[in-house]
Amino acid sequence: MGDAANSASTEAERFAIGISFGNSCSSIARISPEGKAEVIANEEGDRQIPSILSYIEGEEYHGTQAKAQLVRNSGNTVAYFRDFVGKEFKSIDPTPCHQSAHPQQKDSTVAFTIRDTESETPNTVTVSEITTRHLQRLRRSASDYLGKDVNAAVVTIPTDFTDAQREALVASAKAAGIDVLQLIHEPVAAVMAYDARPEATVTDKLVVVADFGGTRSDVAVVACRGGMYTILATAHDYELGGASLDQIVIDHFAKEFMKKHKTDPRENARGLAKLKLECEATRKALSLSSNAQLSIESLVDGVDYGSTINRTRFELLAGKVFSQFTGLIQQVVKKAELDVLDIDEVIFSGGVSHTPKLATLTSNIFPEKTKILAPAASVTAVNPSELSARGAAFQASLIQEFEHEDIEQSIHPMVTVAPHLTKAIGVEFTSQTDSNFQPLLGAETALPARRIAQYFAPKEGGDVLVRVCEGARDIKVTKPEPKAKEDKPAQDEDDSDFDSEDEEEEEIREIVWKTENPVAELSVKGVKAGSKIEVMVHVNADLGLQIAVREVGAQNAVRGAVNGSA
Amino acid sequence: MYNSIEDARPGAIANLETPEHLTRDWLEGRIFGAEKKGWAGEKDFKIVGALSGATKRTVEPVGPHFLAHARRSRHNRTFSEDERLQAQNNVKKTETEEDDDISEDEDPMMLAREAKDWKGQDHYAVLGLKKYRWRATPEQIKRAHRKKVLRHHPDKKAAQGKSDENDSFFKCIQKATDLLLDPTRRRQFDSVDENADVEPPTKKLTGSKFYKAWNPVFVAEGRFSNKQPVPTLGDEDSTQEHVETFYNFWYNFDSWRTFEYLDEDVPDDGESRDQKRHVEKKNANARRKRKTEDTVRLRELVDECLASDERIKKFRQQARAGKDAKRLAKEEEIRRLKEEKEKAKAAEEQRKKDAEEAAKADREKAKKAKEAAKNASKKNKRILKGSVKDVNYFAAGEPSAADIDGVLTDVDLIMGKIDVDELAALAEKLTIAGTDSAAVKTAWSGEAQRLVDAGKLKAGEAKVFV
């Protein structure tokens, strides 16, 4: 009856969730009736469901159960396949699949040869089919949890997904009975997950989203302007990820094992698989506690192995990899032609972001006012593994009621491509000694935009002049001592003690606004003492300006318009 | 705080509706240097420049603010127009919501209820939600509660001067709200809420009356289903698949209905433990019994509906008609095949017969020709043999026996070597030669010589015709 009811209800009732579909893990989330994002646990109680499918005797295993099969049944276990969707065989990097079913070519797309039925002969299953099966399992988990038939979703994708990959993913989801309402970018989903919290307020900010996943890392700079998001720059590293850190733990324990037993567990395929699985768990445990254990039964030649590692040791060993992560962040800030001082927030997303050292290293790069949103640095941080799914769920709740046509029109380039301000617009304040620029609309604000702000008038009242100008940001460097060192070099791999000593000599860098291009001047006459002035600036898409200034409480406002240049 | 409005729109999430951002307040008095020279203070507004260019970028199509942006740009609205329209929409919505749950009349009997026999009260009636019952949302229950409390709060009564100290109905309201807002207890009550049941029709109905009478019954029963949505009964035009889905669903009905609400109170004084256990056991048995009865009742209900459902009969007839048609078609096919086979067989026989006759005629003709050839060759042989005899065996006088024998041996030899056509040719030559001895001999010798040349006869084998 399930299918009949499905087809009948797609039109009538749409029930949408957010899906974060990752290479290593996937999660599903929805917005609860109270308006909070809620990540759904599957039947096994996992909120991060490994994107792995395994087959034994025709029976399908999914998630954690399938992951355990990587040791004994690696040939029939499909893992790390998200990035293969919609790609040509010759353009994929099969390295992550080294210890699971190997990708093969089938009509230029990617496929896996696995025994997914009870018969002995293996079948060739395309990656689209695998994706469909995976999404089907996710959908079933969500439906079971919610007691309603889930038939639509917003799915997150990396920023470098091509149109072909998008189409393939949508088609696979359709085959799994999921109507993809929209595909949204992972970094934006992460920002939105924070902005959708009930306690959050809308602010103008520049955010670096560092998404450190299991097999790859993506970093993006996102400009948040009045609740609208624009990606300014992205950087990807397809080899850096949790697996790189796992490798360090693996090598560490393998060396320790070799000292005792003279055999290298990494040379035995099953030994390596076991070691990999356990080391991943150990590495994750190290993010939470300062000590973690590892115990593997029958690692090689029937030898049981148990050991512990502490966090400091791990951080020392992984210093190089950590600097790769932080280097990626610095690289993307540079690519966006920004300075670390411009960044207001760094959002950590993805499983590896639990690692405390990454957060401390990153906070060393950025000035103190920059908020580092990682569990190790902030108590209010959201679980980084859940960010994408939460953001997707939030978007799903917003557009669930919309018609497909409506959504398509809204995400059409006609609507999404908008002019952005190249320079900040603000109000200049002049005192006896110097003039001071206060930005009202930041650079990279999508147009049309409108801002209203209130300022205190001079205490004594009287006539007031308001000058609306474009401003430029300068970085002022003050050197407290002549022997101060160069500031720029990235300080990643040195220990923190050295850093704090160094700080004394470091030069002080701060942001200074300079008035560059006055646009209009307005005057309000006869302002009462102690009152406030409200300034409204509206910028049209053609760069025309409408400005209105009035005394708060007064009826009459001084208005004026500047014609657009474009 | 100061209100500063951005292009935010009342979105799905309340916190994003009025962002209090971009508020700048500088308390030092160094603002707006009006007296400062060089500023164009004479006029109210003066343009002194233009904005520098803009870059085109793609806005990420997510979030409530983007949706507002999309709405504006698609409908070509300005900020203020859009705000106004959205505000209007929101107003309309709340008004209709307010309208639809005007409280129902209160039965004076109900108002006089005591709170202590809360188990017997109709909680939905107490809150004025009789027309919603199990359909009432928690939101509606909360609203109804608020409304009732406003009317029946003891303080209110005291203010009106009716200080009869009787707040029992208020307690009833509280009891009802507590129960209905607790999902578990609400289910227990809904399970035994007889007022929500719809009685099945008592007599057999046909046509559209059947669907009209039975549909509400199943909708009401469907509230107990663990699987939602529940398939509908449909109407006379429903597909067979739909009807089958419907009956399959109801015969495999997965119900959450429980009968805990009807339990006898378990004494909770610590003294009589045995008594307590006894009551608990009794309750458990009673629940089980009621559940079984309910399952049986539902089954009978579905049986009854199925029995009088005309669609089943219709489908059966259709199936039978379909089967008959199929059978007839099959038979027709078989007949046709048989006919074709017979036709083919007859044609084959005819063809065979014709062929046989032709073969016979051919044979006879060949026989005749053969006989004629035989006769001809006999005749020719006679001519050949006669020819040597006619010329007296080439002897001048009476031929000797040896002469005759020699000539005849050669004649036989040559005749044995030549075929029918050569025989005829030789015979013709001999006939022309007639009784001329030399010509006859030349003909024979020529023939012998030809045979020698053809390699059929060895030179010198013929003694006379050299």
**CATH number, position A52:** 3.30.420.40
* A450 three-class SS: strand
Chosen CATH of B100-193 out of 1.10.1370.40, 2.140.10.10, 1.10.287.110, 3.80.10.10: 1.10.287.110
Question: Does residue B151 belong to the interface with chain A, where contact is any CB pair within 8 Å?
Answer: no
Residue A88: partners with Cβ closer than 8 Å, 6 or more residues away: A108, A109
Question: What is the token pair recorded at B464?
Answer: 């006379």
Question: Which of B286 and B114 is assigned the larger pLDDT?
Answer: B286
Mean pLDDT of the B52-79 span: 86
Flag whether A434 is in a domain: yes
The CA radius of gyration of chain B, in Å to the nearest whole number, is 62
Task: Look at residues A322, A327, A336, A328 and name the one whose alpha carbon lies nearest to residue A207.
Answer: A336
B26 to chain A: nearest residue by CA?
Answer: A456
pLDDT of A157 reads 94
pLDDT of A286 reads 93
Question: Does residue A336 belong to the interface with chain B, where contact is any CB pair within 8 Å?
Answer: no
Mark B166-183 as b/e (b = at least 16 C-beta within 10 Å).
ebbbbbbbbbbbebbeee
A528, A446: one domain: yes
A62, A145: one domain: yes
Containing structural domain, residue A134: 14-176+391-409
Q: Which of A31, A230, A444, A521 to mutate to test the interface with B (most CBs of B within 10 A)?
A: A521
How far is residue A382 CA from its own chain's centroid? Answer: 12
Domain count along chain A: 4
- HSE on the CB side for A362, CA within 13 Å? 34
List pLDDT tens digits, range A302-331: 889 999 999 999 999 999 999 999 999 999
| CATH 1.10.8.840 residue spans of chain B | 378-454
The beta-strand segments (E) located in A171-246 are 179-185, 205-212, 217-225, 228-237
Question: Does residue B307 belong to the interface with chain A, where contact is any CB pair within 8 Å?
Answer: no
A1 to chain B: nearest residue by CA?
Answer: B245
pLDDT of A440 reads 86
Mean pLDDT of the B234-253 span: 88
Flag whether A332 is in a domain: yes
Flag whether A288 is in a domain: yes
Count residue pairs from A and B with Cβ separation < 8 A.
290
Q: Which of B37, B62, B254 to mutate to test the interface with A (most CBs of A within 10 A)?
A: B62
A157, A263: one domain: no
Flag whether A149 is in a domain: yes
A98, A129: one domain: yes
pLDDT of B12 reads 31
Please identify among residues 71-90 of chain B the ones whose CB lies closer than 8 Å to any CB of chain A.
71-74, 79
Q: What does pTM read for this prediction?
A: 0.63
pLDDT of B164 reads 63
Overall fold of domain B378-454: Helicase, Ruva Protein; domain 3 (1.10.8)
A24, A139: one domain: yes
d(CA A491, CA A551): 50
pLDDT of B78 reads 84
d(CA B405, CA A108): 100
Question: Does residue B234 belong to the interface with chain A, where contact is any CB pair within 8 Å?
Answer: no
A229, A213: one domain: yes
d(CA A353, CA A245): 12
pLDDT of B100 reads 52
Residue spans of chain A under pLDDT 70: 1-12, 430-435, 460-461, 480-506, 565-566
Please identify among residues 232-261 of chain A the ones whose CB lies closer than 8 Å to any CB of chain B.
232
Mark A350-361 as b/e (b = at least 16 C-beta within 10 Å).
bbbbbbbbbbbb
Please identify among residues 378-417 of chain A the ones whose CB lies closer than 8 Å to any CB of chain B.
391, 394-395, 397-399, 409-411, 413-417
Q: How many residues does chain A have?
A: 566
pLDDT of B19 reads 34
Question: Does residue A463 belong to the interface with chain B, where contact is any CB pair within 8 Å?
Answer: yes
pLDDT of B49 reads 78
Q: How many residues does chain B have?
A: 466
Backbone angles phi, psi at A111, to 5 degrees: -145, 165
pLDDT of A253 reads 93
* B445 three-class SS: helix
Flag whether A166 is in a domain: yes
Under the banding of pLDDT at 50, 70 and 90, the label for residue B43 is low
Under the banding of pLDDT at 50, 70 and 90, the label for residue B41 is very low
B225 to chain A: nearest residue by CA?
Answer: A147
| Range with top average pLDDT, A132-136, B57-61, B301-305, B453-457 | A132-136
pLDDT of B101 reads 52
Place of tokens 């318009």: A561
Task: Look at residues A546, A551, A399 and name the one whose alpha carbon lies nearest to residue B78.
Answer: A546
What is the ipTM metric for this complex? 0.82
Task: Look at residues B47, B191, B172 and name the one whose alpha carbon lies nearest to residue B121.
Answer: B172
Say which CATH number the domain at A424 has: 2.60.34.10
Tell me whether residues A192 and B62 touch, CB distance under 8 A.
yes
Question: What is the token pair recorded at A288?
Answer: 């939470």
Mean pLDDT of the B241-266 span: 87
**pLDDT over threshold 50, residue B4:** no
CA distances from B405 to A261, A419, B409, B426 (A): 123, 135, 6, 21
Question: Does residue A436 belong to the interface with chain B, where contact is any CB pair within 8 Å?
Answer: yes
Flag whether A272 is in a domain: yes
| Among A191-205, B295-309, B427-441, the least confident range | B427-441
Mean pLDDT of the B93-115 span: 65
Contacts of A398 in chain B (CB under 8 A): 11-12, 63-64, 67
Task: Look at residues A72, A73, A65, A18 and name the one whose alpha carbon lies nearest to residue A44.
Answer: A65
Under the banding of pLDDT at 50, 70 and 90, the label for residue B165 is low
Under the banding of pLDDT at 50, 70 and 90, the label for residue B163 is low
d(CA B405, CA B387): 15
Assess contact for A251 and A279: CB atoms under 8 A: no
d(CA B148, CA B106): 10
Contacts of A202 in chain B (CB under 8 A): 6, 8, 16, 19, 21, 65
Question: What is the token pair recorded at A457?
Answer: 């008038």
A138, A73: one domain: yes
CA distances from B137 to A35, A79, B167, B261 (A): 16, 43, 27, 21
A441, A519: one domain: yes
Mean residue pLDDT across chain B: 79
A209, A347: one domain: yes
A465: nearest CB among B39, B69, B249: B39
A228, A367: one domain: yes
A295, A211: one domain: no
**pLDDT over threshold 70, residue B99:** no
d(CA A43, CA B351): 78
| CATH 1.10.287.110 residue spans of chain B | 100-193
pLDDT of B34 reads 46
Residue B181: partners with Cβ closer than 8 Å, 6 or more residues away: B138, B141, B142
d(CA B296, CA B253): 11
d(CA B402, CA A64): 124
**pLDDT over threshold 60, residue B116:** yes
The CA radius of gyration of chain A, in Å to the nearest whole number, is 27
Tell me whether residues A456 and B27 touch, CB distance under 8 A.
yes
* A129 three-class SS: helix
Mean pLDDT of the B271-295 span: 89
Question: Does residue B63 belong to the interface with chain A, where contact is any CB pair within 8 Å?
Answer: yes
Secondary structure string (H, E, C) spanning A381-393? CCCHHHHHHHHHH
